[in-house]
Amino acid sequence: MTSIETTAADMTADLRNIRRYAAFSEGDRGGNPAGVMIAEELPAADEMQRIAAKVGYSETVFAAREADGHWRVRYFSPEAEVPFCGHATIALGAALAETVGAGVFPLRLNSAQITVEASSDDTGTQAALQSPPTRSRPAAEDLVAETLSLLSMGHDDLDPRIPPAVAEAGATHLVLALMTRERLAAMSYDFERGKDLMLAWELGTICLVHAASRAEFNARNIFASHGVYEDPATGAAAAAFAGYLRDLGWPHQGEVAIRQGEDMGAPSRITVGIPSAAGSSIRVSGRARSIGAEPGGRP
């Protein structure tokens, strides 16, 4: 075969090795699709990028076991590598539970070490990750103004109990809390303008939330910085947001639930455990279900 034919054949073989899961699903519905490749060793970065683009999900995760028992893990969106992805980590946990067995798996990321715990039973697979450390700071006024303009919103749409913030837990997120569920449901924006804004401010997502109660939030996450209009479930943003709630002194009582994806027809549920120590790892858990092998498809 020619080199082009060989490359095409290799790509087809690689895609056959991709497992696909919807993470944070509600039973047999919804969740955020992720690709998972478990390999003897990680492919070259440009090859992982090509595979992720072909799979077409917001993230594909690549994992290989190292000599010390850790799993070396990298995440790629269709357009670029990302430092940490929560829903792909939950999907990886499901894949490891099915291929290796239930347990706690230590993961070595580019800039952090975390774990994912997973088990399977007759009802499916449950997984929980421990996030990188968290931190938060007030969002710059210019960033808030630009984002509100992007969303055709004003300051009166914001919930003053949860001021705008930049929150981190392995990736960086702008958090805007909205006063009403209706305003959250009506979210829309110009994709290219949103992408330019997010790249300029180095944001992983724009996390829009509404406090339905002390312990339950609705959320929508803009992911234009990596070529995706909206994510139906975002574990990394959930961890960062939970860390911000802790910093803020929100009465979380150790756990909150985040409902996401409902406004895009992919209902998802994320459970977040919040320990008291400032900056400490957040536990993010949910279900994962296997989905079809059609690249780029939605569950």
3-class secondary structure, 168? strand
Task: Report CA Rg, the chain.
Answer: 18
Q: Given this model, what pLDDT does residue 7 score? A: 54
Q: What pTM did the predictor assign?
A: 0.90
Residue 10 has pLDDT above 90, yes or no: no
Domain boundaries, the chain: 3-128, 135-285
Q: pLDDT > 70: what percent of the chain?
A: 93
Q: Looking at the domain that runs over 3-128, which CATH code has it been given? A: 3.10.310.10
**Token duo for residue 219:** 């959320």
Asked if 117 and 103 touch (Cβ cutoff 8 Å), the reply is yes
Question: Do 3-128 and 135-285 fold alike per CATH?
Answer: yes
Residue by residue, DSSP assigns 57-107 as: SS-EEEEEE-TTS-EEEEEE-SSSEES--HHHHHHHHHHHHHHT-SEEEEE
Q: Does domain 135-285 have CATH number 2.120.10.30?
A: no
Residue 1 has pLDDT above 90, yes or no: no
Chain segment 128-154, per-residue pLDDT in tens? 999 999 999 999 999 999 999 999 999
Q: Given this model, what pLDDT does residue 294 score? A: 46
Average pLDDT of the chain, as a whole number: 93
Mean pLDDT value of segment 283-288: 97
| pLDDT band, very low/low/confident/very high, at 12 (cuts 50, 70, 90) | low
3-class secondary structure, 267? coil
Chain segment 178-225, per-residue pLDDT in tens? 999 999 999 999 999 999 999 999 999 999 999 999 999 999 999 999
Phi, psi of 272 (to 5 degrees): -125, 120
* Amino acid at the residue 294: E
Residue 232 has pLDDT above 80, yes or no: yes
CA gap 270, 217 in Å, rounded: 10
Residue 56 has pLDDT above 50, yes or no: yes
Chain segment 24-39, per-residue pLDDT in tens? 999 889 999 999 999 9
3-class secondary structure, 25? strand
Residue 299 has pLDDT above 50, yes or no: no
